Structure 1
Amino acid sequence: MNTPHASGGLPPRRTRQHTTPNKKRPKQKRSIKKIIRNTFAIMLLLGVLGLGWLFFTPSGTDFRFLIADTLITTRHRHWAKYVIGQDQLDSRVQQYWKQFENMGDEKANHQITKPDTTSNKPKSLIEYHNISGEGYSGYLMVVNDPTKVRIGVPNRVGKGEKVSEMVKRTEALAGVNAGGFADPNWKGNGFQPIGVVIADGKVYYNGSGGMNKRTQFVGIDKDGKMIAGNYTVQQLMNMGAKEGVTFQPRIIVNGKGQIKSPSQGWGIAPRTVMGQREDGAILFLIIDGRQTHSIGANLYDCQQIMLEHGAVIAANLDGGSSTVLAEKGGHIKNSPASQYGERFLPSAFLVFEEPEQVAIKNIWEGLDPRKIDPGKW
């Protein structure tokens, strides 16, 4: 006989356990908010520490001036006032111009040996060397016979010319940008040079104000010896200046560097520099800049590169977005920084196998420099 259940013979009832559902607490949301608050606090702390470093430490001050100097070399020079202040900006620019003038005053007394053209194994007229350093890369073009260098100018009134087009049009072996130009609205028509342009021993353009006005000249004389420094136009003629333009500063004279430290290097930018070795070879240094593969170099970097390659004299040429190296046929070898492509320029140093056979017309002949509108195309 089955024993009855204590409940009166019926099977026990299964009792349902009533559980109160857990309320979802916003732990995840609180965690995210906490992370955001902590991140913001850390960023704020780092920002305060960064500002303190920038404005109250020697290394931070040097970094601010490096940024300002870099901006000064661009079309956005006025932005530098937000980094160092307007008064410091004005003072900095004046300080550089004064320094550049002084760097061009020492008399250059270097001597060169003319290239041996009778050798059974003559050197190639042009050699290219890759150049690289911390944050920059580019090329060193060596022209072993300095007498093969000529100044090229545009071929139409009112408009500059791309270096690659000059090289192609004149059938040059190579070319680099040379002097600067007036560019009031940053449209870069490139027709009005700054200072002087001397080509084939003649003054093609003189915007300096007369034959007795001084200008910072970079070029070569009739014997292929490089001239760089502060001279009057008449002095240049008396010295036998044959090819060259106005630009500055001279960074090497008599085998000595004029820039004493990177802090005096006038910012980081694309660079074009001309120099000469004792054996007469002309050195053109082309450094890319404002790009991921090469942010650019300062003038101290350029000076040291030129010294390492034997330069006894060297000077800065127009750089920035104008920096370009073109090979035979107009092929561009470097990577110009201009977002609009290669710029239109008033002058270039061109290399020819037979330069005496090249006719370069004076496009500014008969024009009054005061009446040229550099803002018009």
Structure 2
Amino acid sequence: MEQASLPKRSSVRNQRSAPKGTKKRKKKKGGFLRFSIRLFWSLVLVGAAAAAWLFLTVSGNHFRYLIADTLITTQHRYLAKYIIGQDELNKRVAEYNKRFEAMGVEKDTHQIKLPVQTQTASAEAGKEMEKPPLVEIEEVSGKGYHGYVMTVHDPTKIRLGVPAKRGKGEKVSSMVKRYGAIAGVNGGGFADPNWKGNGFKPIGIVISQGKLYYNGLGKNATTQVVGIDRDGKMIAGNYSLKELDRMGVQEAVTFQPRIIVNGKGLIKNAAEGWGIAPRTAMGQREDGAILFVVIDGRQPTYSVGANLYDVQQIMLKHGAVIAANLDGGSSTVLVKDNEIVNKPSSEYGERYLPTAFLVFEHPEQADIPNIWAGLNPRDIDPSKK
């Protein structure tokens, strides 16, 4: 019987000298390469599908314009051109401005009926009916946003605060504390070059205590205002200075758009809501109570923000018969009892602003001097720190 031959010595040496993990490493390298190739082509396919959805479908186009509108409200407006193109960006901004102007034209005919103190007719009569607190705050939330509604039950208790020093705006929390106010929210817009302005140069006009504090318009121009007259009636819409004087406007700033007039909303749907952002708005109920809606934004784990349609619907739900947008974005802030209630989106906290609507228990005692007296608006440098 033949014996099995032994392997050659050289073969044994070759087997012994081969590294143990060589084959495994080759398999791993080959597997990783195949995985990387598959991943690359998967990403290409996903990217192509996403691009096709964004540019070739109705829902994709809506989403693309939503992102663009949202960017338009930020300091990174220029990025919107990479989503919809520069020409479309310019057209979009012009369309919104035209639409906002049109939303301020309809004549406002709303009237207010301030509540009168009455006596109870019950067995415990003799005591006046309990009045609600001057200021009440409630939380509101919806899809992607969280915020607050502040109700001021007596509109005649509101005054417009301005900064303490020339050359720089002031934080709303500082104004509330310095003036001795109960509460406050940010007011009108201001010149803000590269979103690094000093907050001292308002846009349009500022009226406080019935006096024109700032006029960046000229004599015969009109502007979109948000304010209150001497009787506590809210004023919002497009007016000239002569009209505002004839109407007895007490406190006012320039901003737009008006979103509710004569009890009806002017924004048809979310697509016309001018993107998603932190928001501040002011409205009024038939009983005279003023509503301030403050929505936080740009904080994905907390609140992304709201569009103007969302704000309009919150106002209508709370009984507003007139309402208008105020400066929002990183300016949005609500202060009550010297505490900031909301979460401002600015990484630096509160911004320095030229105006704030402040609530006082005794507004007649508020000393609010005109910080712009004697200054020519053309000479104010909004970028000077």
**TM-score normalized by structure 2?**
0.91
Rounded Cα–Cα distance in structure 2 between residues aligned with 1:254 and 1:328 = 33
Structure 1 unaligned segments of length 5 or more: list them: 1-5, 7-11
Rounded Cα–Cα distance in structure 2 between residues aligned with 1:13 and 1:64 = 77
Query: Partner letter of residue 223 of structure 2?
Result: T
Pairing 1:102-251 to 2, within 5 Å after superposition: 102-117=102-117, 119-210=128-219, 212-251=220-259
Conservation of the 8 A alpha-carbon contact between 1:114 and 1:280: yes
Conservation of the 8 A alpha-carbon contact between 1:116 and 1:122: no
Conservation of the 8 A alpha-carbon contact between 1:188 and 1:343: no
Structure 1 position 75 matched with structure 2 position 75: yes
Aligned equivalent of 1:364: 372
Aligned equivalent of 1:274: 282
Rounded Cα–Cα distance in structure 2 between residues aligned with 1:363 and 1:116 = 37
Rounded Cα–Cα distance in structure 2 between residues aligned with 1:110 and 1:347 = 26
Rounded Cα–Cα distance in structure 1 between residues aligned with 2:372 and 2:288 = 31
Query: Partner letter of residue 187 of structure 1?
Result: K
Rounded Cα–Cα distance in structure 2 between residues aligned with 1:34 and 1:137 = 46
Conservation of the 8 A alpha-carbon contact between 1:115 and 1:145: no
Rounded Cα–Cα distance in structure 2 between residues aligned with 1:93 and 1:221 = 31
Rounded Cα–Cα distance in structure 2 between residues aligned with 1:308 and 1:186 = 33
Rounded Cα–Cα distance in structure 1 between residues aligned with 2:372 and 2:117 = 35
Deviation at 1:189, TM superposition (A): 0.6
Rounded Cα–Cα distance in structure 2 between residues aligned with 1:58 and 1:351 = 46
Deviation at 1:16, TM superposition (A): 8.0
Q: What SS is found at the alignment partner of 2:193?
A: coil
Aligned equivalent of 2:23: 24
Deviation at 1:116, TM superposition (A): 2.6
Aligned equivalent of 2:57: 57
Structure 2 unaligned segments of length 5 or more: list them: 119-127
Q: What SS is found at the alignment partner of 2:237?
A: strand
Count of residue pairs the alignment pairs up:
365
How high is the sequence identity, in percent, across the aligned residues? 62
Deviation at 1:185, TM superposition (A): 3.8
Query: Partner letter of residue 227 of structure 1?
Result: I
**TM-score normalized by structure 1?**
0.93
Rounded Cα–Cα distance in structure 2 between residues aligned with 1:251 and 1:117 = 32
Q: What SS is found at the alignment partner of 1:251?
A: strand
Deviation at 1:340, TM superposition (A): 1.7
Structure 1 residues 52-108: Cα deviation after superposition (integer angstroms, max 9, x where no partner): 111111111111111110010011111111110000000000000000000000011
Aligned equivalent of 1:354: 362
Deviation at 1:274, TM superposition (A): 0.3
Change (3 A) 1:14 1:58: closer
Aligned equivalent of 1:314: 323
Aligned equivalent of 1:9: none
Query: Partner letter of residue 255 of structure 1?
Result: G
Q: What SS is found at the alignment partner of 1:24?
A: helix
Deviation at 1:115, TM superposition (A): 2.8
Rounded Cα–Cα distance in structure 2 between residues aligned with 1:343 and 1:52 = 41
Rounded Cα–Cα distance in structure 2 between residues aligned with 1:174 and 1:90 = 38
Aligned equivalent of 2:121: none
Query: Partner letter of residue 65 of structure 1?
Result: Y
Conservation of the 8 A alpha-carbon contact between 1:115 and 1:144: no
Structure 1 residues 6-54: Cα deviation after superposition (integer angstroms, max 9, x where no partner): 9xxxxx9997897674872622211111111111111100100100111
Runs of 4+ in 1 over 2 A off after TM superposition: 12-23, 115-120
Q: What SS is found at the alignment partner of 1:362?
A: coil
Deviation at 1:353, TM superposition (A): 0.3
Conservation of the 8 A alpha-carbon contact between 1:247 and 1:317: yes
Change (3 A) 1:185 1:48: closer
Rounded Cα–Cα distance in structure 2 between residues aligned with 1:37 and 1:202 = 71
Larger Rg: 1
2:260 to 239, 249, 252: 252
Deviation at 1:188, TM superposition (A): 2.4
Structure 1 position 324 matched with structure 2 position 333: yes
Pairing 1:300-311 to 2, within 5 Å after superposition: 300-311=309-320
Deviation at 1:186, TM superposition (A): 2.5
Rounded Cα–Cα distance in structure 2 between residues aligned with 1:91 and 1:117 = 53
Rounded Cα–Cα distance in structure 2 between residues aligned with 1:256 and 1:361 = 37
